[in-house]
Amino acid sequence: MRFRNILAACLGAVLLSSCGVTESELPSLEIRGMQIVSMLEEIAESEEYLSIYSADPELLNIIATFAEGDHSDPKTIYRLTLSEENVKSLCGTDVLTSLSPKLQDFLEGRVQASIINIANARGGSTALAATSICTAGRTFVSDEISSDTIYLYTFEDAVPVAVSFTVGESSTVTATGTFLIAEELNTDSPESIREFFSELDLTVEVVSVD
């Protein structure tokens, strides 16, 4: 069991940091996000993959619900953004000013990406563990964005997926996605999403509507 836990942690780190490739042709962020959605759906459907991480029936039952429905056709895609001032406030101004510029950028990127984990944590430790297993990412080159953002993909009959885009050096962008399983979240409008994340004062915009 200890070996399985160590292997799971190592594989998770590899999946998040090394599975993507840099490409010369640049699909839109919307398409990049859907590539992550497709990968997550495959993960949730793969018993062999999931067995590497856990044999807990409760956790696997939660993951089974992720694979239900159709994730190929988003109903609405939203862009969720924290203002720079809000990010600095959440990090703590005193903490940020004590860090090097490189560490400041790194910490600010992690704060924005952690929004979805905070939402999933409301469902309890098992739900958070399930979404942590079903996490995928890749790194690519894009000039489409200059600051970190999150795309929230909603579907007619499937669990929403959130993809965080974190800007790096030399126009690189790291996309990290996971399922969003907060039962009280209403994804019918930007206003309902802002209300769910009211303590964060998010900007919520519609990127695409089916």
Q: When comparing pLDDT for 40 and 102, which is higher?
A: 40
Would you state the pLDDT for residue 26? 57
**pLDDT tens, 13-56?**
344 444 444 444 557 999 999 999 999 999 999 999 999 999 99
Percentage helix, strand, coil for the chain under 3-state DSSP, each rounded to 5 = 50, 20, 30
**pLDDT tens, 164-194?**
999 888 899 999 999 999 888 999 999 999 9
Would you state the pLDDT for residue 6? 34
Strands (E), 46-202: 76-81, 135-141, 149-154, 161-167, 172-179
Would you state the pLDDT for residue 9? 43
Query: How far is Cα 108 from Cα 99, in angstroms, rounded to an integer?
Result: 11
Classify the C-alpha dihedral 195-197-202-206 as positive or negative: negative
Is residue 176 within 8 A of residue 34, CB to CB? The reply is no
Q: When comparing pLDDT for 104 and 185, which is higher?
A: 185
Q: When comparing pLDDT for 87 and 119, which is higher?
A: 119
Would you state the pLDDT for residue 94? 73
Kindly report the average pLDDT of the chain as a whole number: 84
**φ, ψ dihedrals at 19, nearest 5°:** -85, -15
Among the residue ranges 58-67, 91-100, 109-118, the one predicted with the least confidence is: 91-100
Q: When comparing pLDDT for 8 and 102, which is higher?
A: 102
Would you state the pLDDT for residue 160? 96
Would you state the pLDDT for residue 47? 94
Residue partners of 112: CB distance under 8 A and separation at least 6: 82, 87, 148, 149, 150, 164, 166
Would you state the pLDDT for residue 18? 40
Query: How far is Cα 17 from Cα 62, in angstroms, rounded to an integer?
Result: 25
**pLDDT tens, 77-101?**
999 988 777 777 777 767 777 888 7
**pLDDT tens, 126-153?**
999 999 999 999 999 998 998 889 999 9
Domain ranges of the chain: 2-209
Q: When comparing pLDDT for 5 and 162, which is higher?
A: 162
Token pair listed for 121: 């944590």
